[in-house]
Amino acid sequence: MPELITSPSNPKVKRLLALQQKSSERRERGLFVVEGRRELQHCIDAGFAVDSVFVCPALLSSAPEAGAKVFEVSEEVYAKIAMREGTEGVVAEVRMPERRLEDLALPENPLVMVLERVEKPGNLGAVLRSADAAGADAVLVCDPLTDLWNPNLIRASVGAVFTVPCVACSSQEAIPWLKARGIRILTAQLQDSSLYYDCDMTVGTALVMGTEATGLTGQWRQAADAHIRIPMLGALDSLNVSVSAAILLFEAVRQRRNG
């Protein structure tokens, strides 16, 4: 029988909350938190190792089979550990994998999304969701200002952080890695750029985007094989990074299907 937890002050509950709230705790323990049946199923299907599952029987009859320790929690406890409504009564602690550039297995003419110093977990998660939808082969998060296992990122990605090969690395590592594989680097920027739909994305392509506030650093601009831009016909000069990423990713999809 699973252990029943009815007190919000239970030590296991406190440790779970610490994982949700602190990146340092996630790094130290090598664990992160997944909330929701759909997200947890994507996590399991991708081969992640689940350490513990917290289930609220009043909200969920059975959790996805994870081969992990299962704890049943009261509705009061679940209300404390759940970050959002409508997650069907399941929260899990999952082992953090080691992901390196060298571990990525890319096909011929890969499509890679690169994000430099993007800070908001919601934006990163949304880009991952678009990358999954566009069938991108990898996402590189360069010089990250938030960790890949932030619960808000996982939530915004709707589990795409598990379905798309994603690696956190430095820009100094990513640039030579891309060039060594003959992947063209296309940087999204306003200066000295061509319209994105005039650039060939049918070959191995890395679409590189920076922050909305400051854009890309000089090292990416200098490393680029081409600079591209999305036409801005209104008063503003930029889009949300996740919207821009989706536009560029699906232009690559269009070109590759029509080519």
The domain boundary residue, chosen from 61, 95, 129 = 95
Range of the domain at 83: 3-95
Domain boundary among 63, 95, 127: 95
Mean pLDDT of 213-220: 87
Residues 158 and 233 in one domain: yes
The pair of three-digit structure tokens given for residue 112, joined into one six-digit string:
């890679």
Task: Give 166-203 pLDDT, tens digit per residue.
Answer: 999 999 999 999 999 999 999 999 888 999 999 999 99
Q: Is the pTM of this model over 0.95?
A: no
User: What pLDDT is attached to residue 66?
Assistant: 76
pLDDT-based confidence at residue 37 (cuts at 50, 70, 90): confident
Across 106-122, average pLDDT: 95
pLDDT digits (tens, 9 = 90+) for 64-112: 777 889 999 999 999 999 987 766 899 999 999 988 999 999 999 999 9
Residue 41 has pLDDT above 70, yes or no: yes
Domain CATH number, residue 135: 3.40.1280.10
The dihedral through the CA atoms of 161, 94, 152, 4 has a sign that is positive
Per-residue pLDDT band for 214 (boundaries 50, 70, 90) equals confident
Q: What's the confidence (pLDDT) of residue 24? A: 95
Q: Are residues 45 and 136 in the same domain?
A: no
- Could you tell me if 124 and 96 are in contact, meaning their C-beta atoms sit under 8 angstroms apart? no
Same domain, 64 and 105: no
Look-up: residue for tokens 């750029």?
193
143 and 186, same domain (yes or no): yes
Write down the pLDDT at residue 210.
92
**Which of 89, 81, 53, 46 has the alpha carbon at shortest distance from 68?**
53
Buried b (16+ CB within 10 A) or exposed e, 94-111: bebeeeebeebeeeeebb
In the predicted structure, residue 219 carries a pLDDT above the cut 90:
yes
CATH number at residue 83: 3.30.1330.30
Give the pLDDT of residue 259: 65
The per-residue pLDDT for 72 is 93
